[in-house]
A and B are shown apart, each in its own frame.
Chain A
Amino acid sequence: TAGITQAPTSQILAAGRSMTLRCTQDMRHNAMYWYRQDLGLGLRLIHYSNTAGTTGKGEVPDGYSVSRANTDDFPLTLASAVPSQTSVYFCASSRSGSTDTQYFGPGTRLTVL
């Protein structure tokens, strides 16, 4: 099985442009998450979804939006990118939004110039 896939693998984006990072899982997990990982910092939660049709804000939600139209897909949109959004973005999923293990996608490396 593919598990979790993310696209694109990497992207260079001009400041002010919009972009959607894609995330798809085939494990029928109810919960999905978006994190950013920056050098010297722990993973930080951007947004999450405990089940299709619901979303919630994490620690660093400003400048990002998400949707969860179905179980499998959880896209992350940057409406107007800024250089501080340069980061590696990881999507993750878990069977439920409680104590279940989170499984990560391969990540998207985004550079905003």
Chain B
Amino acid sequence: EPEVTQTPSHQVTQMGQEVILRCVPISNHLYFYWYRQILGQKVEFLVSFYNNEISEKSEIFDDQFSVERPDGSNFTLKIRSTKLEDSAMYFCASSVGYSGQPQHFGDGTRLSIL
């Protein structure tokens, strides 16, 4: 069964540094998403992406965050200047159609900011 893949599985970064989290969505999916889950808490929507542009974004997704689809397969989340509170699990997801359809999640990247 096709799956969403994310790299790295764990990223440790000094506060203030830039990080890029990578995702390869399922190949025939058109909508891509990033979510954040702070340890033990709920899954929080960050951003959705369709047709090479941001479709929706939450209040969490401020100017420090950006997303990009640099080629036909990768989907990246960049955090420009990391803060301690950015420490969380970041999940990439994709869906065939619009946001209301079932989403397939990757295994996540655990981001630890020191």
Q: Do A and B bind each other?
A: no
**Chain B residues in the interface with A (C-beta under 8 A):** none
Interface set of A (CB-CB < 8 Å, partner B)? none
